Amino acid sequence: MVGQDIEQLIQSLSKLPGLGPRSARRAVLAMLEKPEQLLHPLIRNLIETEKSVVKCKSCGNLDSVDPCRLCSDERRDGAKLCVVEDVASLWALERANVFSGRYHVLGGVLSPLDGVGPEDLNIGALVARLSDNKMEELILALGATVEGQTTSYYVVDRLSDVDIKITKLAHGVPIGGELDYLDDGTLGAALTARRPVT
């Protein structure tokens, strides 16, 4: 129905999260019909982003500077560290505008079935970060999935020798819930009402 180039573009886009083949086809058609408004800016943005984006060596966030803007912002509370599964969770918490401390991105959660073990996650760096810095509270903001909870227990266990208050998100995160899918109000309430890990 369409040329190979267009078909390949549709296929590339349809691999993105949230975009199935149908949405990808509509997006491509819109770009081809309005190249100046849609296609050209997108090409420029993609090239610029690919050149500039780096992973923050301190927290694991994605930004165009390293350390990222969150790590280098002196106004943020350096005594609180929030552990999240991925950058999507970090961005969700920032969108909710309820946390002003630092973050640590694990890069996943423990999942034996998928072959994800502790060595695949950014846990060693977390332990090192806690021993280097004066942190007072560690907030485990992992999803209420089995993997998220297993990971929380594992982190608590690994930090048993570290003198730090450990809390986790309160109810409000639905069972099986991933942070990125929560509305900002729910996420904010869960963080505000966080409780100690026992």
Q: Which of 58, 89, 151, 167 binds Zn ion (CB under 5 A)?
A: 58
Q: Which of 101, 96, 83 is nearest to 187 (CA)?
A: 96
C-beta closer to Zn ion: residue 81 or 109: 81
Q: How many residues bind Zn ion (CB under 5 A)?
A: 7
Please state whether the peptide bond connecting residue 17 to the residue before it is cis, i.e. omega within 30 degrees of 0. Answer: no
In the complex, what is the shortest distance from the CB of residue 198 to Zn ion, in angstroms, rounded to a whole number? 30
Helices (H), 4-122: 4-14, 21-33, 40-52, 69-72, 87-96
Question: Of 62-70, 134-142, 164-172, 190-198, which segment contacts Zn ion by CB under 5 A?
Answer: 62-70
In the complex, what is the shortest distance from the CB of residue 107 to Zn ion, in angstroms, rounded to a whole number? 13
Q: Which of 10, 28, 59, 191 binds Zn ion (CB under 5 A)?
A: 59
C-beta closer to Zn ion: residue 71 or 190: 71
CA–CA gap between residue 93 and residue 162 (Å, rounded): 25
Does the protein bind Zn ion through residue 189 (CB under 5 A)? no
Q: Which of residues 69-128 bind Zn ion (CB under 5 A)?
A: 71
CA–CA gap between residue 107 and residue 122 (Å, rounded): 6
Helical (H) or strand (E) element with 148:
helix 146-158
Contacts with Zn ion, residue ranges (CB under 5 A): 56, 58-59, 61, 67-68, 71
